[in-house]
Structure 1
Amino acid sequence: MLIGYARPSAEDSDCQNQLLLLKNAGCTELYIEEHASPKKRVQLLKMLEEAESGTQIVVSKLYTFADSTRHLVELLDKLETKGLSLLSIHENIVTKNDMEYPFTKILHSLADFQSDAISEKTKAGLSVAKDKGAVSGRPRKADENVKKAIEMYNSKKYSLVEIKEKTGISKSTLYRYLEN
């Protein structure tokens, strides 16, 4: 069984081009989102819930189906778990018999690579910034405010609310400094 899935996009806001492709591909059932937003993909969830093992999900483009590489990996894993496969017309990708070209495995590797590349670039950027003297994390509170807050706390004459109002030091920040 072939099930088509469509979602509005900038180039196909009413899904007409996608629907034509899906019908020409032989889809007997269609799930069409009402909006392009990645949130609240009601029809996608409904389709994944209702599709039976052996069914092939057909989309015009991978982006219609998923919003990111990581999202695509998650969806392909769900399809595999349910015994479903994916056909993406534009990219000419079929996951049904991908023994020669295991698309899902390659996609997992690409997603890991993408994550590692972002992580390494972030770490390198932080290292360069640190070498230039930049300090990461939240800025420290002024020492005089901290000293005043500690004195007020130790005097036992002020409530935590009063200490915060007068010094700008929150309860959690004050406790953190008291622990040291």
Structure 2
Amino acid sequence: MTWTATGTLTAEAATRRPELLSAVVADGLARLDPENAETVGVAAIDAALADTAAFCERYGVAAEASANCVVVKGKRGGEVRFAACVVLATTRADVNGVVRRRLDVRSASFAPVDKAVALTGMEYGGITPIGLPADWPIFVDAAVAAAPEVVIGGGVRGSKLFLPGRALLALPGAELVEGLGRATG
């Protein structure tokens, strides 16, 4: 397969380069059906440039082709619920509206970094929907799912994944969510 949103990077099949992934991402990729797993490419990057803006600028990747995966925590009574939200980098997840209602919680916020890292087994700045805890919902914005290709974290700061947006809907717990991503600015 050829990946096109790679800018100056060259992607290889992620199934053949597990050393570029966190262990949970490699495991999550191995659990995907082969048809979807083969659509995922990976490229090594400078870990200091993992944040979206720096990554896009350095490697010539369009922000519109980049997706962010954020971990959200919601509370209802004494129960805490976690979810992942995947939105285009040009948008922000509507945590207090769409996400709060989907999680059926009274309040929702971004999970603290240390908690997100501990629960996902991934590095901050590289958290991705592939390999997340099986009981978490993964809310995928409709714009991400419709994208021919998106760039997301590889579970570590030193890599990025490239895949068709629709492939994210094959992940366990994935749900298509209209209006999840809100325009920034």
TM-score by length of 1: 0.28
| Greater C-alpha radius of gyration | 1
Instruction: Tell me which protein shows more helix as a share of its residues.
Output: 1
Choose between structure 1 and 2 for higher RCO, CA contacts under 8 A separated by at least 6 residues. 2
TM-score by length of 2: 0.27
Instruction: Tell me which protein shows more strand as a share of its residues.
Output: 2
